[in-house]
Amino acid sequence: MKILFTNTAPIITRGMGPAFVDLGHEVRYVNVEHDGGAPFFRALDEFQPDYVFTDAGWGDFRGILFPLLHERKIPHIFWAIEDPVFFNHLSLPWSRESAYVFTTCIESIEDYNKHGMQAHLIPFACHPSFNKTVAPDSRFSHDITFIGNNYTEHPERIKAANYVIKPLLDKDYNIKIYGLPWWTDKSRPFYIDPRFYGGYLPSEDLSTICASVPIILGLHSVVNSLTMMSMRTFEILGCGGFYLTQWTPAIEYYFKNHHHLVWTRSAEETIELVDFYLSKPDLRAKIARQGQEEVYAKHTYLHRAQDILKAIGMPAEINVNKNINPMENQLQSQPILSRKGITIKIGSTSIVVDRKKNTYLVNKKTFEPRTKSQIVKPNIARKQIVYDSNKLRVKKGVKLKY
């Protein structure tokens, strides 16, 4: 299957898009608005996608996109990642012309139903190939950081900034704030002194800063949803960062306090938590590891892509690259998720190998370690995967189905 994405932002190019590739599909990314739509026109002709996928809906290109899709009978997938705040402004116009609608906000599904449309829940996630543990970097030598932008459209986010970030600035903690220059704009409801501003952080540096800075702060724009939260939550946990965040219903719904992450509800609690956890590096590391294990087990973009495929009636299977054998050069190191073994990565298929027992741990549903797993001896693995000494070989053309 071929999917053409109408966005080149990291959430697509380092998240959802690669997950579909992991599942054996072809993807391409294009900015529809560039050159009056010329790159998009070329992509339609050359790539001939089976589906076109748009997230959020920012940009005035519906008039370019939909006439061509309707003419060529190409179904459109819309992922409404700005629900519920921009439901009327963005989601409704896009969803009315889309074949399939997905939302990050479970409460918005009823709103779609009221307008005669069906929507499915697809929350944010992480991708372990990009959101992973890496070596620390001395560029990020501060104790605390926040990575994100100083949005003014969300009163609850501004309120949270005043009890998550401001107390640490007022007490002159070793903290840096990264994002667009809006942070130092004094005309905004919340702003910071320039000495606390670290500049814009490329998405490629997120894993590094999470490995280098003891405490990563979190803010959220939506506080009345069980599923909608900042996408940074999953990304930071995936990177192995210790996450201290504003409490929201979604944070509590998905995660356990002081187990996967830590949340605060007041300025006093923020200071107390920061002081406590700065003095407890081993406990920080344990919580960060547990948070990473949780999102790897339940909240990767592979999980989300599989759910999308099921919703549109396509097989949701892991398709091992049939052109690579052996795959030693493709292996990517991942954090150790089992004290008894090592983790080997093939696309989004994780296998924990116990060298002593010559076994590996396979998740029955997603082929990732942790939940619903079983110990399998190589000789009873249907010959799908053969583990031989220190080499992992995958037979050509094998599809791992669940």
| Nearest CA among 112, 53, 104, 65 for reference residue 82 | 104
Classified by CATH at the fold level, domain 2-121 comes out as: Rossmann fold (3.40.50)
**In this structure, are residues 106 and 227 in contact, taking their beta carbons and an 8 Å threshold?**
yes
Q: Which residues pair with 257 in a beta bridge?
A: 261
Instruction: Compute the distance between CA of residue 337 and CA of residue 334 in angstroms, rounded to an integer.
Output: 8
pLDDT tens column, 352-386: 444 333 334 443 334 433 333 333 333 333 333 33
2-121 and 144-298 in the same fold: yes
Name the residue ranges covered by the structural domains of the chain. 2-121, 144-298, 318-400
Instruction: Compute the distance between CA of residue 26 and CA of residue 330 in angstroms, rounded to an integer.
Output: 18
Instruction: Compute the distance between CA of residue 400 and CA of residue 163 in angstroms, rounded to an integer.
Output: 47
What pLDDT score does 318 carry? 65
pLDDT tens column, 14-69: 999 999 999 999 999 999 988 888 999 999 999 999 999 999 999 889 999 999 99
Own/partner contacts of 57-63, CB < 8 Å, gap of 24 or more, are: 57/82, 57/86, 57/90, 57/91, 57/93, 57/94, 58/82, 58/90, 59/32, 59/33, 60/33, 61/6, 61/32, 61/33, 61/37, 62/93, 62/94, 62/97
Please list, in sequence order, all residues whose beta carbon lies within 8 angstroms of the beta carbon of residue 29, skipping any fewer than 6 positions away: 4, 5, 7, 8, 12, 13, 17
**Would you call 193 exposed, middle or buried from its count of C-beta atoms within 10 A (0-12, 13-18, 19+)?**
exposed
DSSP string, 303-329: HHHHHHHHHTT----EE--TT-SS-GG
Instruction: For the domain covering 144-298, report its CATH number.
Output: 3.40.50.2000
pLDDT in tens, the chain (402 residues): 999 999 999 999 999 999 999 999 999 999 998 888 899 999 999 999 999 999 999 988 999 999 999 999 999 999 999 999 999 999 999 999 999 999 999 999 999 999 999 999 999 999 999 999 999 999 999 999 999 999 988 999 999 999 999 999 999 999 999 999 999 999 999 999 999 999 999 999 999 999 999 999 999 999 999 999 999 999 999 999 999 999 999 999 999 999 999 999 999 999 999 999 999 999 999 999 999 999 999 999 999 999 999 999 988 776 544 332 222 222 222 232 333 343 433 344 444 444 333 334 443 334 433 333 333 333 333 333 333 333 333 333 434 332
Q: 339 is written with which tokens?
A: 């004290």
With 0.85 as the threshold, say if the pTM is over it: no
